[in-house]
């Protein structure tokens, strides 16, 4: 997982950079399924995360002045999150939560797609006369 941080109208301290890296690296456990699927491709690109952090303007002192934009590039997907907040740490936490939610959704889609393909394959081979397939909470028996 490669993290690229870009700043605008703000200087990034080592503490804040370490905080951002720790929060964003916690998303790695959710993105493992995409890294496992990557072994079948010839070119391993990995996961690249681009983060842009900054202040909207230099003269404002109150209100939502910090913004965080994050773009996560997976194999065939690009996940994006933008947050504006009073505090830089709150904005980073919100971005992490948004990306975590999107990763979980795409992981569920990927696993259900694989299960659906396996069901279709099993049905086409007629492996067992006792085979049952679940659809919408009820059992549908297949006749051969």
* H or E stretch at 48: strand 48-55
pLDDT at 97 over 80: yes
- 97-136: burial string, b at 16+ Cβ within 10 Å, e else: ebbbebbeebeeeeeeeeeeeeeeeeeeeeeeeeeeeeee
What's the mean per-residue pLDDT of the chain? 80
What does the chain come to in residues?
144
pLDDT at 127 over 60: no
What integer is the mean pLDDT of 112-116?
86
CATH of 2-126, one of 3.30.43.10, 3.30.930.10, 3.30.160.100, 3.30.379.10: 3.30.160.100
What per-residue confidence (pLDDT) applies to 17? 93
Domain ranges of the chain: 2-126
What per-residue confidence (pLDDT) applies to 46? 72
What per-residue confidence (pLDDT) applies to 144? 47
pLDDT at 99 over 60: yes
Chain segment 14-47, per-residue pLDDT in tens: 999 999 999 999 888 877 766 665 554 445 567 8
Chain segment 131-140, per-residue pLDDT in tens: 555 555 555 5
- Range of weakest confidence among 11-15, 87-91, 95-99, 113-117: 113-117
What integer is the mean pLDDT of 53-71?
83
Residues 133 and 143 sit within 8 Å (Cβ to Cβ): no
- Which single residue is written with the structure tokens 């997982």? 1
Q: Which of 79, 77, 54 is nearest to 66 (CA)?
A: 54
What per-residue confidence (pLDDT) applies to 2? 87
């Amino acid at each position: 997982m490669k993290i690229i941080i870009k700043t605008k109208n703000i200087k990034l301290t080592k503490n804040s950079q370490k905080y951002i890296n720790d929060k964003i690296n916690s998303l790695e456990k959710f993105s493992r399924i995409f890294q496992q699927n990557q072994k079948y491709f010839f070119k391993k690109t990995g996961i690249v995360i681009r983060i842009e952090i900054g202040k909207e303007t230099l003269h404002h002192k109150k209100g939502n002045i910090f913004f965080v934009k994050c773009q996560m590039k997976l194999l065939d997907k690009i996940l994006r999150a933008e947050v504006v907040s009073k505090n830089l740490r709150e904005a980073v936490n919100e971005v992490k939560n948004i990306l975590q939610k999107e990763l979980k959704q795409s992981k569920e889609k990927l696993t259900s797609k694989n299960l659906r393909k396996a069901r279709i394959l099993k049905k086409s081979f007629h492996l067992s006369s006792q085979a049952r397939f679940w659809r919408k909470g009820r059992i549908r028996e297949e006749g051969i």
